[in-house]
């Protein structure tokens, strides 16, 4: 991360309590996880378009105030959003979900409930330490800071990050004498802020009644996967395979598309690796969670970082696809060999193969537009990244007028939300949501 001498705002909304003498214990008593358990109880997701009943979201918070002109690129943002406007836009998004009968689960609430459990607290605090990068003194002080906080404070620290200056204010004697402290400016992040955490799609993927503990491609987002998996594990959710966040090949949820009827499509590109696609295909096929798995090699461009930036499902047989990039993707069918290794067979007619796997006579493709300049501009603002509330009804960004008009002309109901600030992180409504429960899809 680039160094800066600029000072950040005051470190916390509420002062932290003094550190405990025994750092291996959390301040919180027995956790109250009823709401947390309910959030991850009865999860079932078999498609992208079955009627949405429960979804994980995160209202952007103080973490966005950590973005500066000299660090936003390192934190994977193209611009610096206006927090209050981004929150208003996100409130409209969750309001629209509520109006359509969808129960929203707030990420920070789930994390606070989970982080009240001593074992979860220790697991996350240990993961945050990274003594090989921070040095033992700084790492130990960070561990103490997280353990001495309340569960709510702990959630804010993990989401908003911790600078060297903030850590020193908490533990001045131990940290300030270390070489790790003296070699870094006060605004250097000991714990990076999770500015991308509003894009909850990526840190986990719920398939059937289980979940994939995803590994973020960038170290900036590593803690997102660790936090979500810790919360899900604490609630008793069952994992797919034996993946450990940030210890496995990179896999992000925006690259997983559940087409229905046991068909899963995996994007391979800037974020998700071929190794992760093979690993996921092996787990899904061997467990029976999927009967057909396809892999799509994506163009190596920022606006194509995930599969869901290029295509999303809008009803049982229709996909909204980027008119700019549709023919630049290469598809493969992934199958298990007798020895459980994965074989990749190239597909010349991928949508024909997908239709066959889904038991359909054909797939309808709705391109985002027919004017190249408009398509390229709207691709940058996530025109193809829509969220299906039910078959034939989607949420889209209001700014992508050409793509939205084409959806409407194809008989799809388009509900729009404002997007002037949310779009600055290169994520649309699909990225802003992680479905936990959808009705079974009838094809």
Q: List active site positions.
A: 431
**Tokens describing residue 100:** 């359509």
Start-to-end CA distance of the chain, whole Å, equals 48
Residue 205 has, within 13 A of its CA and on its CB side, a CA count of 28
- Going by the DSSP 8-state scheme, the letter that residue 193 receives in this structure is -
- The label of the residue with tokens 């959808």 reads 438
CB contact burial 37-55 (16+ within 10 A = b; e otherwise): eebbeebbbbbbbbbbbbb
- Greatest pairwise CA separation for the chain in angstroms: 70
Q: Which of 44, 438, 441 is nearest to 238 (CA)?
A: 44
Sheet of 387-390: strands edge to edge?
A: 387-390, 393-397, 413-417
Round to whole Å and give the CA distance between 147 and 193. Answer: 18
User: Is residue 388 within 8 Å of 381, Cβ to Cβ?
Assistant: no
Question: 3-state class of 210 per DSSP?
Answer: strand
d(CA 267, CA 305): 9
Measured between alpha carbons, how far is 111 from 200 in angstroms, rounded to an integer? 13
Q: From CA 405, how far away is CA 372, in angstroms rounded?
A: 16
Alpha helices, H only, 26-171: 34-39, 83-99, 107-114, 118-129, 131-134, 136-148, 151-160, 164-170
Instruction: Find out whether 193 and 222 touch, Cβ atoms under 8 Å.
Output: no
Within 10 angstroms of residue 302's Cβ, the number of other Cβ atoms is 12
């Amino acid at each position: 991360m680039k160094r800066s001498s600029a000072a950040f705002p005051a470190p916390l909304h509420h002062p932290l309590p003094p550190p405990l003498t025994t750092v291996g214990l959390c301040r919180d008593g027995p956790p109250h996880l009823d709401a947390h358990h309910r959030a991850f109880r009865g999860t079932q997701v078999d498609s992208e378009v079955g009627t949405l009943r429960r979804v994980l979201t995160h209202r952007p918070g103080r973490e966005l105030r950590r973005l500066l002109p000299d660090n936003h690129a390192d934190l994977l943002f193209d611009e610096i959003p206006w927090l209050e406007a981004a929150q208003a836009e996100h409130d409209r998004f969750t309001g629209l979900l509520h109006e359509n009968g969808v129960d929203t689960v707030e990420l920070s609430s789930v994390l606070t409930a989970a982080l009240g459990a001593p074992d979860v607290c220790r697991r996350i605090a240990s993961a945050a330490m990274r003594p090989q990068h921070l040095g033992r003194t700084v790492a130990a002080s960070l561990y103490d800071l997280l353990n001495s906080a309340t569960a709510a404070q702990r959630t804010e620290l993990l989401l908003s990050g911790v600078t060297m200056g903030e850590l020193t204010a908490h533990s001045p004697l131990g940290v300030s004498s270390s070489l790790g402290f003296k070699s870094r400016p006060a605004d250097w992040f000991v714990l990076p802020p999770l500015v991308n955490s509003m894009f909850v799609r990526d840190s986990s993927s719920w398939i059937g009644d289980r979940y994939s503990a995803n590994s973020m491609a960038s170290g900036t987002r590593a803690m997102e996967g660790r936090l979500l998996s810790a919360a899900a594990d604490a609630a008793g959710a069952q994992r797919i395979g034996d993946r450990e966040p940030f210890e496995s090949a990179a896999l992000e949820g925006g690259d997983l598309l559940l087409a229905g009827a046991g068909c899963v499509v995996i994007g391979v590109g800037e974020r998700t690796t071929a190794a992760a696609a093979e690993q996921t295909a092996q787990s899904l096929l061997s467990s029976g969670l999927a009967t057909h798995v396809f892999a799509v090699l994506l163009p190596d461009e920022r606006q194509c970082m995930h599969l869901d930036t290029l295509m999303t499902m809008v009803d049982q047989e229709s996909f909204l696809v980027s008119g700019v990039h549709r023919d630049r993707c290469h598809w493969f069918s992934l199958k298990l060999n007798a020895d459980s290794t994965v074989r990749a067979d190239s597909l010349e007619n991928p949508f024909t193969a997908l239709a066959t796997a889904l038991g359909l006579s054909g797939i309808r493709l709705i391109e985002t537009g027919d004017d190249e300049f408009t398509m390229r501009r709207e691709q940058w603002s996530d025109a193809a990244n829509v969220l299906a509330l039910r078959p034939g009804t989607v949420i889209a960004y209001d700014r992508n007028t050409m793509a939205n008009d084409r959806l409407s002309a194809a008989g799809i109901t388009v509900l729009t939300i404002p997007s002037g600030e949310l779009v600055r992180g290169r994520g649309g409504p699909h990225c802003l949501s992680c479905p936990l429960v959808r009705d079974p899809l009838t094809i």
